[in-house]
């Protein structure tokens, strides 16, 4: 039976309250309105940002909601005025939109887009400031404009990238967040040059993608820092050349790195979300030019600090969202790079489960051995 124009009832994992196990519910998904796209999600991975919002630390977190933002699927139907995708297209929902018309998009200075952010930050769609998800009439909030822990979701047309239909969706779903974030932090935000020294704090998926990007950029030393020494074995495969566990040192970790690198690294990346590590990451940078990129997302109320002298003497503190990639334009290019074996994806997938097993997948996220867990959604 054709579903276009009708409400679809499907399975979704609903987060009712912070930290309370998600439950699989029958959710009603309304048809897309003008400028919206309804997507059948086939595969979704979990990112630490999902766990962060679920934990209640996200100042933008709203409950009940449908989390998830690293996924791939097929367009089921489109609303009025949608021209760039059509039913049957293979797509990756993009939490960072790209409208190509707003002052952010036109600036050429950022990948942030202002068109739908005010709505996605409060869990609704832009046109009527309402949710397309409900359970027996009770609205359920969207999350990051994507809500991929559902068999069907509705996204803004500026938040969906059309990709090569030959690409395996169970793999390229990772291009919705983690892998591009790490690669882009190096290529777009830091612009690491050949021969650079790099320090990466946190060797999860994001830190490993930073390592992969740094290796491709020709960095000569890639120093990985993690509290879990088991990370070094896997990190070597992504380009990390040296490993430091802060637990093995009495001196502050920034001092250890400065001593090891004749004054500090050219670039550092914080891929944890810990504000005290963010300070170490800045302070391990070389005087005069060292640049530190904040990638990790910190909890509500957390603030960064350092002595202003650190910046006066030439260190630069920056941040990155989605690695600076313009989503709709550049995600298809990343898919093509994967298809040509120019970037890794398979190596980040350590676990595969189903949507029904999502709570187990959240548990795995907190285990050192898990990078990305991909859930089959349509089962």
Ligand X SMILES: NC(=O)c1ccc[n+]([C@@H]2O[C@H](COP(=O)([O-])OP(=O)(O)OC[C@H]3O[C@@H](n4cnc5c(N)ncnc54)[C@H](O)[C@@H]3O)[C@@H](O)[C@H]2O)c1
- The correct pick among 37, 47, 72, 190 for binding ligand X (CB under 6 A) is 47
What six digits make up the tokens of 284? 């391990």
Q: Tell whether residue 201 is a contact of ligand X (CB under 6 A).
A: yes
Q: Is 69 considered catalytic here?
A: yes
Which of 177, 185, 192, 334 forms a contact with Zn ion (CB under 5 A)? 177
* Strand 242-244 with 267-270, pairing: unpaired
Q: How many residues does the chain have?
A: 379
State how far the Cα of 162 lies from the Cα of 331, in Å rounded to an integer: 8
271 binds, among ligand X, ligand AHE, Zn ion, none (CB under 5 to 8 A by kind): ligand X
355 is a site residue for Zn ion (CB under 5 A):
no
Strand partners, 353: 375
φ, ψ of residue 200 to 5 degrees: the values are: -120, 115
322 binds ligand AHE (CB under 6 A): yes
End-to-end CA distance of the chain, in Å?
Answer: 19
Q: Which is nearer to ligand AHE, 217 or 297 (CB)?
A: 297
Q: Identify the active-site residue in 177, 271, 285, 373.
A: 177
- The Cα-based distances of 87 to 3, 151, 166, 226, 327 in angstroms read 11, 16, 16, 44, 20
Residue 58, contacted partner among ligand X, ligand AHE, Zn ion, none, CB below 5-8 A by kind: ligand AHE
Q: Which of residues 31-70 bind Zn ion (CB under 5 A)?
A: 47, 49
Under the criterion CB under 6 A, does residue 350 sit at the interface with ligand X? Answer: no
Token pair, residue 149, equals 């822990």
Residue 59 touches which member of Zn ion, ligand X, ligand AHE, none, C-beta under 5-8 Å by kind? ligand AHE
* Binds 102: which of ligand AHE, Zn ion, ligand X, none (CB < 5-8 Å by kind): Zn ion
**Which residue reads 């676990």 in tokens?**
351
Pattern 260-299, ligand X, x by CB under 6 A: -----------xxxx--x-----------------xxx--
**3-state secondary structure (DSSP) of residue 210:** helix
Q: Which does 202 bind (CB under 5 to 8 A by kind): Zn ion, ligand X, ligand AHE, none?
A: ligand X
Quick one: how far is CA 44 from the chain centroid? Answer: 12
Q: Does 105 bind Zn ion (CB under 5 A)?
A: yes
Which residues, numbered 120-179, are part of the site for ligand AHE (CB under 6 A)?
177
Closest CA to 350 of 376, 377, 373, 375: 373
Enumerate residues 33-92 that contact ligand AHE by CB under 6 A: 47, 49, 58-60
The 3-state DSSP class for residue 92 equals strand
Report strand pairing: 221-225 vs 242-244. parallel
| Bond preceding residue 64 cis, omega within 30 of 0 | yes
What minimum distance in Å lies between the beta carbon of 129 and ligand X? 25
Whether residue 48 lies in the annotated active site: yes
Q: How far is the CB of 168 from ligand X (least distance, A)?
A: 21
Kindly provide the b/e burial profile for residues 145-178, where b requires at least 16 CB atoms within 10 angstroms of the residue's own CB. Answer: bbbbbbbbbbbbbbbbbbbeeebebbbbbbbbbb
Residues that bind ligand AHE (CB under 6 A): 47, 49, 58-60, 96, 112, 117, 177, 297, 321-322
Q: Which residues are catalytic?
A: 47-49, 69-70, 99, 102, 105, 113, 117, 177, 372
């Amino acid at each position: 039976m054709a579903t276009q124009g009708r409400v679809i009832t499907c399975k979704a994992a609903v987060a009712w309250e912070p930290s309370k196990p998600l439950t699989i519910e029958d959710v009603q998904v309304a048809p897309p309105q003008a400028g919206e796209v309804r997507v059948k999600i086939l595969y979704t991975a979990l990112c630490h940002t999902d766990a962060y919002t679920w934990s209640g630390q996200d100042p933008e977190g709203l409950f009940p909601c449908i989390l998830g933002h690293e996924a791939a699927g097929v367009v089921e139907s489109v609303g009025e005025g949608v021209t760039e995708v059509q039913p049957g297209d293979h797509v990756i929902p993009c939490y960072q939109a790209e409208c190509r018309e707003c002052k952010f998009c036109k600036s050429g200075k950022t990948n942030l887009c202002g068109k739908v952010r005010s709505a996605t930050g409060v869990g609704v769609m832009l046109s009527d400031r309402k949710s397309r998800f409900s359970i027996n009439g009770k609205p359920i909030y969207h999350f990051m404009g994507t809500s991929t822990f559902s068999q069907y979701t509705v996204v803004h047309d500026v938040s969906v990238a059309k990709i090569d239909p030959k690409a395996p969706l169970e793999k390229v779903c990772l291009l919705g967040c983690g892998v591009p974030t790490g690669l882009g932090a190096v290529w777009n935000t830091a612009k690491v040059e050949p021969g650079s020294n790099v320090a990466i704090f946190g060797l999860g998926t994001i830190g490993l993608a930073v390592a992969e990007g740094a290796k491709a950029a020709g960095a000569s030393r890639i120093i990985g820092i993690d509290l879990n020494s088991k990370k070094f074995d896997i990190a070597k495969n992504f380009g990390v050349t040296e490993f430091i566990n802060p637990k093995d040192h009495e001196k502050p970790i920034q001092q250890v790195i400065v001593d090891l690198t004749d004054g500090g690294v050219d670039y550092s990346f914080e891929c944890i979300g810990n504000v005290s590590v963010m300070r170490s990451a800045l302070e391990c940078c070389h005087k005069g030019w060292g640049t530190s990129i904040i990638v990790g997302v910190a909890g509500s109320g957390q603030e960064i600090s350092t002595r202003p002298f650190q910046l006066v003497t030439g260190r630069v503190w920056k941040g990155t969202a989605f690695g600076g990639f313009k989503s709709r334009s550049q995600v298809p290019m990343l898919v093509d790079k994967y298809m040509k074996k120019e970037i890794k994806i398979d190596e980040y997938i350590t676990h595969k489960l189903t949507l029904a097993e999502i709570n187990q997948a959240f548990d795995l996220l907190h285990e050192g051995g898990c990078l990305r867990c991909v859930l089959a959604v349509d089962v």
